[in-house]
A and B are shown apart, each in its own frame.
Chain A
Amino acid sequence: MLPDTVATSELRQPPALAHQFESLGAQKEAATFGMWVFLATEVLFFGGLFLTYSVYRMWYPAAFAAGSRELNIALGTINTATLITSSLTMVLAVHAAETGNRKQLLLFIIVTMVLGLVFLGIKADEYYEKFVDHHVPGPNFQFEAQYFRNAQIFFSMYFIMTGLHAVHMIIGLGVMTWMLVWAWNGTITKEYHSPIEIAGLYWHFVDIIWIWLYPLLYLIGRHVHG
């Protein structure tokens, strides 16, 4: 028998609700806002690099085009398609969580992670190709004399921007592993699914960065040599 002094509202709190929130809805909104504020700082982070890229491209357009033509357009395009597909599977994972479908949630988290690994694998192969082609800025760099210095600026931006993006992908895979564990052990329920949505926001953001990196790095001056 419950004591008379227990308030009825206390009897029905969902286990996932932290005490400072009035409802799961309020908690979810706070979590969403927090992640968006973090993503805003990521705009600051990558924004500085995009600015640097833009200034150097404005100064050395021919060198940037020459460097861009040396990137593997097939792999870059496949990677773009891979990440966009992973965003689809991510959002389908959120949908599965929202509808309480645990099997689908697990499936889509795993597929999203596999696509992320495919992306990183292709990236690693591209980096390897660049080492072999002597396009890594430094003592072993080789390029046509006319663009020797400024193409190194292009390749520096290429490695820094895609490298930072790859670091974010790896962190994303870590986050998704955590979500996989939570989806597996029953922490994620139809009522408490906001962690999947928050992880999804991060994942989509990293996809958006790549949506910009692809044309800015791979598609400069392609019409010249085809």
Chain B
Amino acid sequence: MAEYIVPRKVYFLTYAILMACTFLTWRVAYIDLGVLNTVAAIVIAVFKMVLVILFFMHVRYGTSRTWLTVVGAFFWLGILLVVTFGDYLTRGWKTYG
């Protein structure tokens, strides 16, 4: 079976970046950035998640079918979050007529 075997140094590099990001997210939490604290935490978490998905879960080396399934799952989550928050954030809005 001719299947690409990912070299281990890809894994070690990914691991090093993940640990560095964990350290970063921990330290940044102690600096007062106002609203940006939450933004920073989310950006770092997304980045870590993408690294795990692409390299540890092999999606980078996988088929389009796998990729589509991953995108589909997060697209669904996006709909859930956007539509629900669309409801809650607009509850105070006045209506006319």
Contacts of A87 in B (CB 8 A): 15, 18, 52, 56
In the complex, are the beta carbons of A55 and B77 less than 8 A apart?
A: no
Which residue of the partner chain B has the closest CB to A24?
Answer: B1
In the complex, are the beta carbons of B30 and A77 less than 8 A apart?
A: no
Cβ-defined partner of B49 (8 Å) among A33, A58, A212: A212
In the complex, the 10 A-B pairs of residues with the closest C-beta atoms, listed nearest first = A40-B73, A215-B41, A219-B29, A222-B29, A43-B73, A223-B32, A36-B69, A88-B15, A47-B77, A204-B56
Shortest beta-carbon distance, A46 to chain B, in Å? 9
Residue in A58, A85, A212 whose Cβ sees the most chain B Cβ within 10 Å: A212
Binding site for A on B (CB under 8 A): 1, 3, 5-6, 8, 11-12, 15, 18-19, 22, 25-26, 29-33, 37, 41-42, 44-45, 48-49, 52-53, 56-58, 62-63, 65-66, 69-70, 72-74, 76-77, 80-81, 84-85, 88
What DSSP secondary structure best describes chain B's contact surface?
A: helix
What DSSP secondary structure best describes chain A's contact surface?
A: helix
Binding site for B on A (CB under 8 A): 23-25, 28-29, 32-33, 36-37, 39-40, 43-44, 47-48, 51, 54-55, 58, 73, 77, 80-81, 84-85, 87-88, 90-92, 95, 98-99, 191, 197, 200-201, 204-205, 207-208, 211-212, 214-216, 219, 222-224, 226
